[in-house]
Chain A
Amino acid sequence: MVPDHQIMSEEEVQQLYSLYNITSEQLPKIYHDDPAVKVIGAKVGDVIRIVRTSHTAGRAESYRLVIKRPKK
């Protein structure tokens, strides 16, 4: 049910940034206390690769930056 979440290495992250010509600010976010994040033990500031099965593409990759959940 839950798609595959993996922490990306520093190198991969740099590659990702240069591929899309972005900074970490422009990535989609995910909270540090998200169950999927807790399971793989990612820390705030890590980038996570999520591989989903997609209706349209079959397999789709997306990336999220772990951030701290703001209170309330």
Chain B
Amino acid sequence: MPSPKRIGKIEFGLLSPKEIRTMSVRKIIWADTYDDDGFPYPQGLMDLNLGVIDPGLRCKTCDQKASECPGHFGHIELAKPVIHVGYTRLIRKLLRVTCRSCSRLLLSPEEIEKVVGTEDDLTGDVLSEKDIKKERLCPHCGEQQLKINFEKPTTFSEIFVDDGRKIEHKLTPADIRARMEKIPDEDLRHLGINPDVARPEWTILTVLPVPPVTMRPSIILENGQRSEDDLTHKLVDIIRINQRFKENQDAGAPQLIIEDLWELLQYHVTTYLDNEVAGCPPARHRSGRPLKTLSQRLKGKDGRFRGSLSGKRVNFSARTVISPDPNLSVIEVGIPLAVANEMTIPVQANPFNIEELRQMVRYGPHRASLSAPCGANYVIRPDKRRLRLAEGNLENVAEMLEPGWTVERQIRDGDIVLFNRQPSLHRMSIMAHRVKVMDGRTFRLNPAVCPPYNADFDGDEMNLHIPQTEEARAEAAILVAVEENILSPRFGGPIIGGIHDHVSGIFMLTNQLKWHSKEEALYLLKNIGVEHLPAPGKNEGGRPLWSNKQIFSTVLPKELNMVFRASSCQNCETCRRELCERDAYVRIIDGILESGTIDKKAIGAFDGQIVNRIIRQYGMKRAAEFIDAITHLSIRAIMMNGFSFGIDDEDLSKTEYGQIEEVLSNAVNDVQRRIKIYEDGQLEAMPGRTPEETLEMQIMQVLGKARDRTGEIAGRHLGLGNSAVVMAVSGARGSMLNLTQMAGCVGQQSVRGERIMRGYDDRTLPHFRKGDRGSDAHGFITHSYKSGLNPTEFFFHAIGGREGLVDTAVRTSQSGYLQRRMINALQDLKVAYDGTVRTTGGRIIQFCYGEDGTDPMKSSFGDPVDVKGIVESILKEEV
């Protein structure tokens, strides 16, 4: 491999007219493309010298066929010079810094020296527009300078004052070109321009290069009509106007007509280069679609750089909808048979596998069922020729197969593949899974791997890529595998873990102490691969019984010791530990759950304390097995009783409804009372606040408290028998606030943290009196989602809801752009072997990665060592 080279310098220059003519193979004078027989016109835009696109024809310049000829440039001689839009700012600068009569820099040598430095002591600075004072005399010829006005896109004019009136004199491109030509080379160097490669007059075009036909191919529509490329259309316009211009010029047409035509030519050349210039109507296709001209080909997301060079489409990939399958392992991915039959892995034939490969070739490209062994789609001979396998040639090819040939076999169970969901915001957005060929048409994945992908199943699609080389597969298995990415480098904790029903299920299984018969115990543990049940916890009436904690303990490693508090912990002032009435004090001693409930804190994605500890003690592989076991166990547990939520789960009893109503009416009255105090001018303002602000704060506080009270009342009625409560307490989904809003009272709607104030005539809606400060007039919703909102409440709810939507939309777009810029700045940095962070050039960014040299993925939530965890697991008690 050649060693990397350091770039010494990059030269930016302009194409001179001479160069354009030298590289041109043909002068183009006709605006027509093809004649009636479909043959290109000589000296037309599709001239055969410019390259060929039709198969069968040969290029007149290089005599190669359409597939080999790279294409060649032609040129158009413009009747009069026109400005290149891309250089208008440079032209403006040059016009302003040079003399209008002698074209020299408007600075004396001493003034230049001040900025640029002397010959031996260059400051490295160049002159800019700011270094020149406005409308001064030329230090060389004494000419009075005029103000240069630039009007977008390409108009330059001089302004002089005559009889107190401002007169604008337009500069033609020819005038400007004449001035540029006279600027001495030395002056250009002071301006940071290298005159050897970029004479300023070359920014005014006198001759226009015509790009090869290969970069503007015409396509033949279904009806046999030719459709030309946008660039060709634009070139046709330019040639037409150019032709007319020349004719008029030769015929001695009046100055006015010449000027009009000149402007028109300028317009066409401008839009040919860039069709999105400010102050210039874009050139349009007959259908009204703006033309995609040169600059549009390069710019933007779908442009040449971001669309074709940085990002490309790839082979050996598949994309479809995803759906959940809790029976899969987290390291697996379910792939539809139809996809598996198309996707292949190349296998080199050798004496040891040739019989196996022959058999695959005999099976051919059609794998009928999941149980059938995989076939092959292509065979590649040593001379790189590809043979497509089809019904007819299977036996034949199988016979011909020899060591050295390559067979592209279909993917089968156990193959390693890369799985990805956009937006790929972090490394866990692409992980390597093991293939599991399945029925159906969707990719299947264990819901526990949803958090790293941020996937759900409301129609999300994901991509699959098949690594094609041994190296790629090894990299995928060692670095990208799901088992290697359970920990997130974002916070140094597990990002894969139980979600939703996993958490609810394990919560319902392990909460409080329950006893299960042998049948139940076996039902729960059926899918986990437990070989023997532990000794029964107790015997009752001659029947052995196992406790729920015993059953859970079977999935724990034997030497695990940890103590922590579950999600359902209320942070009581004095913790009653094992005697906690919520059973929130989790104690695991030697792999046995002694007390406590397993929930989100223990096994959830992002928190999973047990998962975290298993990774530290036993490694990621064991953790992946644990997650598999826990998901299977919890799904079984949740299926024992079933888990659902209906409208009547929000029902409360009459007493609760009475209490809620009382709380709310008290609150509303309290608000009225405070408004009265305020209106009487009796309200004492809080320090630093106006009386209005004080009142608002008080109202918000009163109403907030009232809503919380209704939640408490509703919560008293709804116990752990209610599935929404189970979800909220276990941390699976939702919170008690959601339940409050469903059963108790929705509460205050707000915009920017204040009550809703927007509206006309001192009121939010015409349903209220002007100046009404009452709770209902400013978005307090006394009803619950279950009881239903009245129209004004519904309207306020929509206002509050809209704010949330706008916030998320703005946040995602802003953070997306921020991340793009961060990645652009940081993508090539890496940690060197000496622990420093360096650029590709070896320049040091940090002397020690993160100042402590810790890999955040292997850290314990940011800390290099998990002291508490280690001590706990040795002492077997809380510290």
- Residue ID in chain A nearest B846 by CB atoms: A62
B878 CB-CB contact with A under 8 Å: no
Check B844 against A28 for contact (C-beta < 8 Å).
yes
Number of interface residues of B (CB under 8 A): 21
Task: Assess A28 versus B845: contact at CB under 8 Å? Given A54-B852, A56-B854, A57-B852.
Answer: yes
CB distance from A24 to the nearest CB of B (A): 11
Instruction: Give B834's nearest chain A residue, CB to CB.
Output: A20
Question: Chain B interface secondary structure, helix, strand, loop or mixed?
Answer: loop
Instruction: Choose one: B123, B847, B854; the contact of A71 (CB below 8 Å).
Output: B123
Residue B139, interface by CB 8 Å: no
0/1 per residue, B132-173, Cβ < 8 Å to A? Answer: 000000000000000000000000000000000000000000
**In the complex, B851 has a CB within 8 A of chain A:** yes
B117 smallest CB distance to A (angstroms): 11
Chain A interface residue count, CB cutoff 8 Å, equals 18
Q: Are B851 and A60 in contact (CB under 8 A)?
A: yes
Q: Is the CB of B842 within 8 A of A26?
A: yes
Contacts of B128 in A (CB 8 A): 72
B128 to A, closest residue via Cβ: A72
Query: Is B851 in contact with A54, judged by CB distance below 8 angstroms?
Result: yes
A61 and B836 CA atoms in complex are apart in Å by 12
For residue B850, CB closer than 8 A to chain A, the reply is: yes
What is the bound-complex CA distance between A61 and B853, given in angstroms?
13
Whether A56 lies near B851 (C-beta < 8 A) is yes
- Chain B residue nearest to A19 in the complex (CB): B834
B848 within 8 Å of A (CB atoms): yes
Instruction: Check: A27 CB closer than 8 A to any chain B CB.
Output: yes
Which of chain A's residues have a CB closer than 8 A to the CB of B124? Answer: 70
* B313 in the interface (beta carbon within 8 A): no
Docked Cα-Cα span, A70 to B845, in Å, equals 21
Give, as a whole number of angstroms, the nearest-CB distance from A55 to chain B: 8
Q: Please tell me if the beta carbons of A22 and B125 are within 8 angstroms of each other in the complex.
A: no
A63 to B843, CA, bound (A): 12
Q: Which residue of A lies closest to B130 (CB)?
A: A72
Q: Which of A12-69 contact B (CB under 8 A)?
A: 20-22, 25-28, 54-57, 60-63
Residues of B within 8 A of A71 (CB): 123, 125
Please pick, from A25, A28, A56, A63, the residue contacting B852 in the complex, using a CB distance under 8 A. Answer: A56
Q: Which B residues lie within 8 Å of A54 (CB)?
A: 851-852
Partner of B848, one of A22, A57, A70: A57
Considering the complex, which residues of chain B in the window 826-843 have a beta carbon less than 8 Å from any beta carbon of chain A? Answer: 834, 836, 838, 841-843
Write 28 A-B pairs (CB below 8 A) sorted by A numbering: A20-B834, A20-B836, A20-B847, A21-B834, A22-B842, A22-B844, A26-B841, A26-B842, A26-B843, A27-B843, A27-B844, A28-B843, A28-B844, A54-B851, A54-B852, A55-B851, A56-B850, A56-B854, A57-B848, A57-B850, A57-B852, A60-B847, A60-B851, A62-B847, A63-B847, A70-B124, A70-B125, A72-B128
* Sample of 8 further A-B pairs with CB below 8 A, known A22-B842, A56-B850, A57-B853: A20-B844, A22-B844, A25-B843, A54-B851, A55-B851, A57-B848, A60-B847, A71-B125
